[in-house]
Amino acid sequence: MAADELDLRLQARARRAYELGRLLAALRLAPFVLAAAGAAIACGRPFPVTCALALPLLLLSVGLAYGGGPAGRAVVPGLLAGAGALAAPLLMATVGHACFGPACMSLALPACVVGGGLAGVVIARTTVRRDADLPFVLGALAVAALTGALGCTLAGAAGVLGMLAGVVVAGAPVLVATRR
- Report the interface residues with another protein, using CB under 8 A: 7, 10-11, 13-15, 17-18, 20-22, 25, 66-69, 72-73
Per 3-state DSSP, what percentage of the chain is helix, strand, and coil (rounded to 5)? Answer: 90, 0, 10
Q: Rounded to an integer, what distance in angstroms lies between the CA atom of residue 107 and that of residue 23?
A: 40
Residue 2 or 95 having the CB closest to another protein = 2
Rounded distance, CA 66 to CA 49, Å?
26
Closer of 10 and 103 to another protein (Cβ): 10
Three-class SS string for 114-129?
HHHHHHHHHHHHHHHH
Measured from the CB of residue 175, what is the shortest distance to another protein in angstroms?
22
Q: How far is the CB of 72 from another protein (least distance, A)?
A: 5
68/173 with CB nearer another protein: 68
Q: What angle do CA 116, 117, 120 make, to 5 degrees?
A: 85
The CB-of-64 to another protein minimum distance in angstroms stands at 10
Minimum distance from residue 5 beta carbon to another protein (Å) = 14
Comparing CB distances to another protein, the nearer of 24 and 55 is 24
Name the minimum Å distance from CB 26 to another protein.
8
Decide whether 40 or 74 has the Cβ nearer to another protein: 74
Per-position b or e across 38-52, b if 16+ CB within 10 A of its CB: ebbbebebeeeebee
